[in-house]
Amino acid sequence: MKATAKAHTNIALIKYWGKRDEALILPTNNSLSITLDGFYTTTSVEFNEELTKDRFVLNETAVEGEQFQRVTKFLDLVRSLSGKRLYAEVASVNAVPTAAGFASSASGFAALAAASSKAIGLNLTETELSRLTRQGSGSACRSIYGGFAEWQKGEAVDGSDSYAVPIAPREHWDIRVAAVVLSSKMKKVSSRRGMRRTVETSPFFNGWVDSIPYDLEAIKEGILNKDFVKVGEIAEANCLKMHATTLGANPPFTYWLDTTLSVMQTVQQLRDSGIPAYFTIDAGPNVKVLYLPEHEEKVQETLRNIPGVSDVKLSRVGQGISYLEDDTFV
């Protein structure tokens, strides 16, 4: 009863920011992302009658504490779906450099959901898999698909209609993402705590939610028509609106550093010089920059030269979940 799966992380162009149900991980708004080929997690799960508890090894180190609890709680869901009370040995390798500011929880829970459900004998459709994955980490439900995916928030109280759907495959459009890594180790407000505080206290939160349907329709049209300027403008504005909600929270907070603002301004200057490039930022200080392949050299060089930037990692549009033969997993 063993299976191995590989999942790529994703970057949201329309952000998931706010939950209507914390336990089931149900969002207040739809979100839309690009799956990235540069950053992924490979996870192998083996259910075994001889185990007396779950075990989780990440990058060859046994994990305990809160991280372990999240994995074992997720495995409980898989066990309850299958009706089998078996413990599991979980081994993950993360090719998502934490320093790059990408949430490894997206690729991590997508790979865990795929490998564990397959290993225990559940034969899930992609929709069912996305719905299950959502309960590990919200943004992870979008990583089931390659290319461009939308997480539909759904209306049902039990979460049955809250899952991701594919918008366009990776072959549809070759756009690129540069992850700009800033040299800071500043402790941040976790995205879970940050979104909860925003929902509960920010007077800007309702404005954020109200603005989503327009952004979503417009960006989907932009993606389908490969209209880079339209997609970039909407993604950048959507990111700024999300971050604006945190300034209205009580107590107020921001994920930005001075260097975050420098990168944002440099991206705007790139545009002024005729190169279409747009930024987006998640629950952290690092900036991701969208650009077209023909501008890769110039964009990369410009970003690397900003004082305070420690690295720039480039990525293309990536693929969805894949299952590996066990012997290909190292």
Which residues of the shown chain bind ligand 2P0 in the complex (CB under 6 A)? 12, 15-17, 25, 31, 103, 105, 137-139, 191-192, 282-283
Closest CA to 116 of 100, 101, 132: 132
d(CA 283, CA 56): 26
d(CA 184, CA 218): 35
Give the shortest CB-95-to-ligand 2P0 separation in angstroms: 18
Comparison of 281 and 309: residue with beta carbon closer to ligand 2P0:
281
Closest CA to 106 of 132, 68, 134: 134
d(CA 12, CA 149): 9
Comparison of 12 and 182: residue with beta carbon closer to ligand 2P0:
12
Strands (E), 120-262: 148-152, 163-168, 176-182
Comparison of 198 and 300: residue with beta carbon closer to ligand 2P0:
198
Comparison of 215 and 282: residue with beta carbon closer to ligand 2P0:
282
Residue least distant from ligand 2P0 (Cβ) = 138
Give the shortest CB-73-to-ligand 2P0 separation in angstroms: 12
| Omega cis (within 30) before 307 | no
Is residue 199 within a helix (H) or strand (E), and if so which, with residue range? helix 191-201
The single-letter code of the amino acid at 130 is: S
Comparison of 105 and 300: residue with beta carbon closer to ligand 2P0:
105
At 273 the three-state DSSP class reads coil
Comparison of 24 and 275: residue with beta carbon closer to ligand 2P0:
24
Give the shortest CB-301-to-ligand 2P0 separation in angstroms: 28
Give the shortest CB-221-to-ligand 2P0 separation in angstroms: 20
Comparison of 51 and 240: residue with beta carbon closer to ligand 2P0:
240
CA-CA-CA-CA torsion sign (41, 140, 240, 205):
negative
The DSSP bridge partners found for residue 21 are: 26
Give the shortest CB-220-to-ligand 2P0 separation in angstroms: 16
Give the shortest CB-138-to-ligand 2P0 separation in angstroms: 3
The answer to whether 267 and 295 are in contact (CB under 8 A) is: no
The answer to whether 114 and 108 are in contact (CB under 8 A) is: no
The single-letter code of the amino acid at 322 is: S
Give the shortest CB-48-to-ligand 2P0 separation in angstroms: 28
Comparison of 138 and 154: residue with beta carbon closer to ligand 2P0:
138
Give the shortest CB-10-to-ligand 2P0 separation in angstroms: 7
Tokens of 62: 């046994």
